[in-house]
Chain A
Amino acid sequence: RKEVEQDPGPFNVPEGATVAFNCTYSNSASQSFFWYRQDCRKEPKLLMSVYSSGNEDGRFTAQLNRASQYISLLIRDSKLSDSATYLCVVKTGANNLFFGTGTRLTVIP
């Protein structure tokens, strides 16, 4: 079983729509959780960390459910510039980041 599993998509949504991505992780000892964004042929960049209480950054809301080992990312009022691949990332142990394969989002005008 993979450490991190994501629906690869693609998700094609119109501008202004709300879209949600989900991710599950297998190791209950995982300590830290993140969403990274990766544009085509570019390096991943940190979008936001995910905290147990849930956290929001503008149009982006991240939630963590430790009991179900489940992480989510909600994007409200989608913009064309949100088109990218969103990577669910889990930190287990001192150093290892485990990346999901990513969920591809295309926002359509």
Chain B
Amino acid sequence: GAGVSQSPSNKVTEKGKDVELRCDPISGHTALYWYRQSLGQGLEFLIYFQGNSAPDKSGLPSDRFSAERTGGSVSTLTIQRTQQEDSAVYLCASSLTPDNEQFFGPGTRLTVL
């Protein structure tokens, strides 16, 4: 069956621009997670959704980052006024329930020039 998909796979943007990253979780998975992976760093948790609500936003690095999830399915991570330090691979994962295995998407590689 279809796994987690993300788009775009690569995004190059100029400093100060806004970007939107999309995640399509596995159908039926109630939990959705966003992480980012910077070069030489471990995965950094950003935000978690259960259904459409985000009970844990603790990992969002600044108020330039926001995310939403609609219909208990697709999620969008938005970064406003991008900075060079935002350059990273942004990974989305979903799980059937929060207690189940997380399956990762292929990621979006964001480069801020």
Chain A residues within CB distance 8 Å of chain B: 2, 4, 42-46, 87, 94-102
Task: Determine how close the nearest CB of chain A comes to the CB of B32; give it in whole angstroms.
Answer: 11
- Chain B residue with the shortest CB-CB distance to A96: B45
Stretch at the interface among B64-72, B73-81, B99-107: B99-107
Task: Decide if A102 touches B42 in the complex (CB within 8 Å).
Answer: yes
Interface contact tally, CB-CB below 8 A: 45
Give me the 5 closest cross-chain CB pairs, A-B, nearest first. A43-B104, A99-B43, A99-B42, A101-B42, A95-B48
Contact B45–A43 (Cβ < 8 Å): no
| A84–B92 alpha-carbon span in the complex (Å) | 20
Residues of B whose CB lies within 8 Å of any CB of A are 31, 33, 35, 40-45, 48, 55-56, 58-59, 91, 98, 101-102, 104-107
Residues of chain A with a CB closer than 8 A to B43's CB: 44, 87, 97, 99
Inter-chain CA distance A96–B101, complex, in Å, is 12
Q: Please, which residues of chain A bring their CB within 8 A of the CB of B105?
A: 43
Sample (21) of A-B pairs whose CB atoms are under 8 Å apart = A43-B105, A43-B107, A44-B43, A44-B91, A44-B104, A87-B42, A94-B56, A95-B33, A95-B48, A95-B56, A95-B98, A96-B48, A96-B58, A97-B33, A97-B43, A97-B45, A98-B42, A98-B45, A99-B42, A99-B43, A101-B42
Q: Which B residue sits closest to A100, measured CB to CB?
A: B42
Report the minimum CB–CB distance from A50 to chain B (whole Å): 13
7 extra A-B contacts, CB within 8 A, seeds A43-B107, A97-B33: A2-B42, A43-B91, A45-B104, A95-B31, A95-B56, A101-B41, A102-B42
CA of A94 to CA of B49 in the docked complex: distance in angstroms? 12
Contacts of A44 in B (CB 8 A): 43, 91, 104
Q: How far is the CA of A100 from the CA of B37 in the complex (A)?
A: 11
- B18 shortest CB reach to chain A, Å: 25
- Chain B residue at minimum C-beta to C-beta distance from A98: B45
